Amino acid sequence: MNFTPTPPGERRLALFDLDHTLLPIDSDYEWARFLARVGAIDGEEHTRRNDDYLRQYQAGTLNIFEFLEFQLAPLAAHPRAQLDRWHLQYLDEVIRPAIQPAARNLVSQHLESGDLCALVTATNEFVTAPIAAEFGLAHLVATTVETVNGAYTGRPAGTPSFREGKVTRTHAWLASLGAAFEGFTTSWFYSDSINDLPLLSLVTHPVATNPDDRLARLAAERGWAVLRLFE
C-alpha cells in the first residue's frame, strides 16, 4: 500500500494491532514460551494454559481479566532488572527475526507520510513497548501493568486494551494529545482479529490484515480492504 504525504490542513491517523498483524507471531504467547525456555516459569503447565487461552482468544471467547491474572504473574515474580535482561534476549532471539520487511515498510510509509501513528494492542506494555520502538512507533496503547514502588504487582491497571477497551484507551490516548477521532480527516486501523471489530468499525479505513476467518468474511461483506502482509 502506498500513501501520499498528508495534504496541508489534513490530519491522518494510523493505528496498528501487533500480533499476527505486524508480527506473524503472538508476542504474548511467545514471551511465555521464552520464559519457560529460560527456566523462569514452569514450562509444561504454563504452556498448557497458554495454549488454552490462545484458543479462546482465536475463538473470541477470552475472559481478558482471567487471562491477565495468569499472564502477568511472572512479572511480579522476578525483579525488574532481571525482566529487562530477559526482554533484551527475547527481542534478539524471537522478535527481531520474526519482523518482516513488508510490516516495517507499512509502518514506515505512514510515518513518512506525516500520519499520527500508534501501536494499539491487548498485549501488556512491558512486552510491547520495546517492540513498538523496534517499528519506530513512538506511541503505544497497550494493557497497562500495575506497579508499586517500581515493581510489577502482576495485576492490570485501568481498562485492558482489548475489544471495546481498545476504543476506550485510544480515545484516552488521543485526548492526552489534545486530539479526538473527529479531528482526523482519514484514519486507518490494521488488525487480523474479529476481537478488534469495535475499533475497526470506528476508523474511516478499516484494513483486515492477515485476517482470521471470521474477520475475512466480515471484511468481504462490508467491502473493507484486505491486506496480507506475509504472503
| Residues catalogued as catalytic | 17, 19
Query: Residue 15: which residues within 8 A CB-CB, separation 6 or more?
Result: 117, 118, 119, 120, 141, 170, 187, 188, 189, 190, 199, 203
CA 204 vs. chain centroid, Å, equals 20
Three-state DSSP class for 210? Answer: coil
Find out whether 208 and 186 touch, Cβ atoms under 8 Å: no
Find out whether 71 and 28 touch, Cβ atoms under 8 Å: yes
Indicate the Cα dihedral angle 68, 26, 133, 219, nearest 10°.
-100
Where do the H-state alpha helices sit in the chain?
A: 27-37, 43-59, 64-71, 73-77, 80-90, 96-98, 101-112, 125-134, 164-176, 197-200, 213-222
Where do the H-state alpha helices sit in 124-202?
A: 125-134, 164-176, 197-200
Query: Residue 230: which residues within 8 A CB-CB, separation 6 or more?
Result: 24, 100, 102, 103, 210
